[in-house]
């Protein structure tokens, strides 16, 4: 597969992930105000500042510092992966994930959802940290494919988590439905 057809395939995956996000959440990422704010962010600090503000809007979170630390780690890994793998694909999937995170934070109003939110963010952080090896070797087309596919799946996870949160499902069911393997063991 040539680089052009590989990029076209990744573009199709990207577009499908945005459509699936909209289908699951009834939110068009490109039109959401938080997505607009995040499109202009060019550093880990600027992204986490917006996410921190979304979290502060829900000041009842007792684990606010832990959540901010997780968000910072997730955003940092996303930035590093995007830069290392050189996702020169004419789209910015990591910024869509930032928007998905911000929208999820914005939809959480139920205090009972805070523990599953921490669990979800810890799982996302773990998934991304497993990809850290890709930042230490020369990028290849296969690496780019893996990173983009992982980003697409993360956006899908965020869509499902947002959907369940908007539906007012109790927090204990969030991870069982979105990341069932986190409850094993």
> Would you say residue 127 lies in a domain?
yes
Q: For the chain, how many structural domains are there in total?
A: 1
Q: Is residue 97 classed exposed, middle or buried when 0-12, 13-18 and 19+ CB atoms within 10 A define those classes?
A: buried
How much is the pLDDT for 63? 61
How far apart are the C-alpha atoms of 162 and 166, rounded to whole Å?
6
pTM: 0.84
Mean pLDDT by 10 residues, the chain (185 residues): 64 89 92 87 90 77 78 91 67 84 83 77 90 81 85 91 80 55 48
Per the structure, the complete domain to which residue 88 belongs is given by: 3-167
* CA neighbor of 105 nearest in space, from 125, 124, 121: 121
Reported as a single tens digit per residue, the pLDDT across 84-100 is 776 555 567 888 899 99
How much is the pLDDT for 184? 46
Positive or negative, the Cα torsion across 100, 95, 44, 84?
positive
> Would you say residue 155 lies in a domain?
yes
How much is the pLDDT for 185? 44
């Amino acid at each position: 597969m040539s680089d052009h057809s590989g990029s076209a395939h990744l573009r199709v995956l990207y577009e499908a992930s945005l459509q699936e996000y909209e289908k699951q959440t009834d939110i068009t990422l490109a039109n959401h105000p938080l997505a607009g704010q995040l499109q202009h962010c060019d550093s880990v600090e600027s992204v986490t500042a917006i996410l921190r503000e979304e979290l502060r809007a829900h000041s009842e979170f007792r684990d606010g510092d832990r959540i901010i630390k997780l968000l910072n780690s997730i955003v940092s890994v996303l930035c590093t992966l995007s830069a290392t793998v050189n996702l020169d694909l004419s789209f910015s999937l990591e910024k869509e994930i930032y928007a998905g995170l911000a929208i999820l934070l914005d939809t959480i109003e139920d205090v009972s959802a805070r523990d599953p939110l921490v669990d979800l963010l810890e799982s996302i952080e773990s998934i991304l940290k497993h990809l850290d090896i890709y930042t230490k070797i020369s990028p290849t087309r296969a690496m780019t494919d893996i990173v983009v596919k992982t980003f697409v799946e993360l956006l899908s996870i965020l869509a499902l988590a947002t959907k369940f949160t908007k539906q007012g499902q109790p927090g204990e069911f969030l991870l069982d439905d979105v990341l069932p393997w986190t409850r094993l063991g």
